[in-house]
Amino acid sequence: MLRATLAFAFALRFGLGLGNGSSALAAPAADTAPSNPFQSAATEDDDAADDTAPAETSGEEEEEEGPGSESLHALTCLDGDATGGRRKGVQRRDFLKRHRFELSGMGGFYASDALSSTYSYGGALSFYPSEDFGLELLVTRSPVQFRLEEPFNAFTKEEHFVPSDAWQAIASMSWSPIHAKFKFTEQTIIHGDLFAVAGAGRTFHDSVMGLTWEAGAGFKLYLTKRLAFRFDVRDFLLPQEVLGRGRITNNVTVLGGLSLWLL
């Protein structure tokens, strides 16, 4: 009887053990790996705090670099304010030409291929529909003569080329792609423009037989709101006949003068 009782108790305990084992095997697996059993709870809390810290910092950085910050940076760049001790961006122009007229008086040196070098003087009226482009009408006068007239006269005893005046009327388009600043002293900085011109017109003289084409470059210094200094170098190409010989000649003119700005 005692043996039968022990056998029944052993069988019952063995059956309960199998049931508990099957339920343990059927339990679902955890989504995350089990934590290190040798790591303390305080260490795990510190790691969790470190994981959340970058998210808070990135949020602050995003607030600092928002759309408003970009606009401020753009305005700073255009105004030319100093950042970190350095200048950046486009500097403001203190002189604007758009929708203004320019009246200039100029004079200088005239060097011709076919005739003697001489002086030239005149004036120009310009209008600027935009800040970089302008329209100009240039009128100049130059006394001209043939450089070999005296040797010819001595040989033939006749006058072949009569000295006279040459007038020019040239319509040009100017382009000012570069705005510059010129430093003369520690306290004096003058703004200016570098420009190029091209155009065509007429040279009124007996030796000229067609249109006059022009190309050149120069610079302007804006001394005040109404007054500017200008320096031009231009080459006038024109068909010219001197003593029965015709050819295309280069006539380089160096002009300097003052400009009065209207409106």
The predicted-structure confidence for 165-185, as pLDDT tens digits, reads as follows 999 999 999 999 998 888 888
User: Could you give the CA distance from residue 230 to residue 98 in angstroms, rounded to a whole number?
Assistant: 18
What integer is the mean pLDDT of 1-8? 52
Non-local CB neighbours of 243 within 8 Å, separated by 6+ positions: 146, 152, 160, 161
Quick one: 92 exposed, middle or buried, by C-beta within 10 A (0-12, 13-18, 19+)?
exposed
Nearest alpha carbon to residue 105 among 11, 227, 20, 201: 227
Question: Which range has highest mean pLDDT (30-39, 94-103, 131-140)?
Answer: 131-140
pLDDT band at 3 (very low <50, low <70, confident <90, very high): low
Non-local CB neighbours of 248 within 8 Å, separated by 6+ positions: 237, 238, 239, 240
Non-local CB neighbours of 167 within 8 Å, separated by 6+ positions: 139, 140, 141, 203, 204, 205
Q: Is the pLDDT of residue 225 over 70?
A: yes
pLDDT band at 77 (very low <50, low <70, confident <90, very high): very low
Question: Which range has highest mean pLDDT (24-33, 217-226, 243-252)?
Answer: 217-226
For residue 91, the 8-state DSSP code is P
Task: Give me the pLDDT at residue 36, please.
Answer: 52
Q: Is the pLDDT of residue 246 over 70?
A: yes
User: Could you give the CA distance from residue 176 to residue 138 in angstroms, rounded to a whole number?
Assistant: 17
Kindly report the average pLDDT of the chain as a whole number: 75
User: Could you give the CA distance from residue 263 to residue 246 in angstroms, rounded to a whole number?
Assistant: 46
Task: Give me the pLDDT at residue 221, please.
Answer: 95
User: Could you give the CA distance from residue 168 to residue 235 in angstroms, rounded to a whole number?
Assistant: 13
Q: Is the pTM of this model over 0.85?
A: no
Q: Is the pLDDT of residue 59 over 50?
A: no
3-state helix, strand and coil shares in percent for the chain, rounded to the nearest 5 = 25, 45, 25
Task: Give me the pLDDT at residue 149, please.
Answer: 55
What integer is the mean pLDDT of 6-21? 52
